[in-house]
Structure 1
Amino acid sequence: MDCMIKHIKIIERMDQLIRLQATGSPEKFAQRLGISKTKLYRMIKLMRALNAPIEYGTTIQSYVYTEVVGFTFGFYSRR
C-alpha cells in the first residue's frame, strides 16, 4: 500500500512541475523527483496510459501537456 501512495505522490509532483513547465531535462526532472531516469520514464509511460497528453518541448526544455487536462486523486468533502 505504501508503494502505491508513493507512486501517487510522485505523479502529483510530476503533474505540478509539468503544469509549471519547469521539469527541465529528463535528468533534471528525475533529480527533482528523487528518482532514477529509468523510473521517470516508467512513470511517464504510466501517466500516458492514463491518457495524460505528455510531450517533451525541446525549445523550452520541459515536459508539457499538449492539451488542458486535470489530475485529481484522493478524497474530499462534498458539503
Structure 2
Amino acid sequence: MTEPPRTLTNAALDRLPLFATDLEIATSIVGRARANYWLKAVLPTLERRGFPAQDPLHTGRAVPLVRKFYEDYLALPRAL
C-alpha cells in the first residue's frame, strides 16, 4: 500500500486572514509558547532564504506565499 502524498496542512494557517502579522504567522507555525523565539531567531534566517516579504500596503505577509514557502522548504508536494 502506498502512502498518499504529504502536503502542508495546518488548520491554524487556514484560519488566518489573507495577509497576517508576523505574530499571527509565528503562532500558527510553532504555537504561542515558541512564537517569540521564532520571531527573533528563526524569522531573520528564513527571510534570507526567501521567506515572503511584508506587503506594505496590507501591512502583513501573504499567507498563501508563507504556505508555499514551507511546502518548498520542507520539500512537500503541493495540494492539488
Q: Please tell me the TM-score bracket, short chain as reference.
A: 0.3 to 0.5
- Which structure features the higher share of strand residues? 1
Higher relative contact order (CA 8 A, sep 6+): 2
